[in-house]
């Protein structure tokens, strides 16, 4: 059956798990969290999934206002803390802000606390600023807007500012309609923007940049052929939730606030919210 998806949890079949090359771990309090560990690169050719960790956090609806928002942010931040290495960070918001289902990355970047310039310019005089992690933020649009591959821009930035790791936020595609707006995926294997909808751009990963790349995203589109179980190539479309505006905004805020908390654990949620 034809399938296109960015979600590792949708690709791993029971046969792969039985083979011993894949390990699945369940946890979570507010979220239902599944961590998949792929032990080698044998799945790369068949499924496009490299060796590494794939963490999926599921919630009933990321677009709804929730009394559990603070707990969700803290739990997501803890997952980030466990996978993002220490040191300077470059956060990249991938995608096109003008197309709502593709706006998760730029909307996330807009709410990341950039501190590299504060540390460099004012850190010597201010002990609090000196305690912040050096974070840089970039959201430069897509190839059709810039004429430059995003991977090329990020590579140039990494050569200039020399971060310890890159965190790339992007909208994802799924094959199961029940995942739309209900899942967050984090992986330490990087990302190929657009791969879930067969518009794959140059890979952004440790293989291309030489440093760890953590990718995070929310599925905002699903393949219609998977939903309808159709093999008709004329049915080559994707669907997106009706509340995509609210979903994109709230998902991006959730990811951004959790990243801010993971980068700067001395800040509480009141302080993080007050900055945006």
Q: Residue 61's CB: how many other CB atoms inside 10 A? A: 15
Distance of CA 32 to the CA centre of its chain: 17
Strand partners, 251: none
Domains of the chain: 8-269 (3.40.50.1450)
Helix (H), strand (E) at residue 31: none
| CA proximity to 72, closest of 87, 57, 86 | 57
State the Cα–Cα distance between residues 13 and 122, nearest whole angstrom. 52
pLDDT at 188 over 50: yes
CA end-to-end distance (rounded Å), the chain: 45
> What is residue 70's predicted lDDT score, i.e. its pLDDT?
93
pLDDT at 161 over 80: yes
pTM above 0.85, yes or no: yes
> What is residue 195's predicted lDDT score, i.e. its pLDDT?
53
């Amino acid at each position: 059956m034809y399938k296109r998806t960015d979600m590792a949890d949708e690709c791993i079949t029971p046969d792969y798990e039985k083979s011993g090359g894949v390990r699945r771990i369940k946890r979570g309090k507010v979220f239902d969290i599944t961590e998949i560990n792929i032990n080698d690169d044998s799945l790369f050719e068949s499924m496009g999934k490299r060796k590494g960790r794939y963490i999926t956090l599921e919630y009933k609806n990321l677009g709804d206002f929730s009394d559990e928002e603070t707990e969700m942010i803290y739990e997501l931040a803890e997952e980030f803390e466990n996978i993002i290495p220490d040191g300077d960070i470059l956060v990249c918001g991938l995608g096109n802000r003008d197309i709502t289902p593709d706006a998760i990355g730029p909307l996330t970047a807009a709410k990341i606390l950039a501190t590299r310039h504060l540390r460099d310019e004012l850190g010597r005089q201010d002990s609090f600023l000196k305690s912040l992690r050096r974070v840089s933020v970039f959201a430069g649009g897509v190839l059709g807007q810039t004429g430059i591959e995003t991977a090329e821009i990020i590579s140039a930035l990494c050569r200039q500012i020399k971060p310890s790791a890159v965190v790339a936020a992007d909208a994802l595609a799924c094959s199961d309609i029940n995942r739309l707006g209900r899942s967050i995926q984090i992986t330490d294997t990087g990302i190929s923007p657009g791969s879930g909808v067969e518009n794959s751009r140059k890979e952004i990963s440790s293989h291309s940049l030489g440093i760890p790349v953590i990718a995070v995203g929310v599925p905002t589109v699903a393949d219609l052929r998977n939903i309808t179980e159709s093999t008709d190539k004329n049915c080559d479309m994707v669907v997106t939730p009706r509340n995509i505006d609210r979903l994109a905004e709230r998902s991006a805020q959730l990811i951004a606030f959790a990243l801010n908390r993971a980068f700067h654990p001395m800040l509480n949620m009141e302080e993080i919210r007050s900055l945006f």
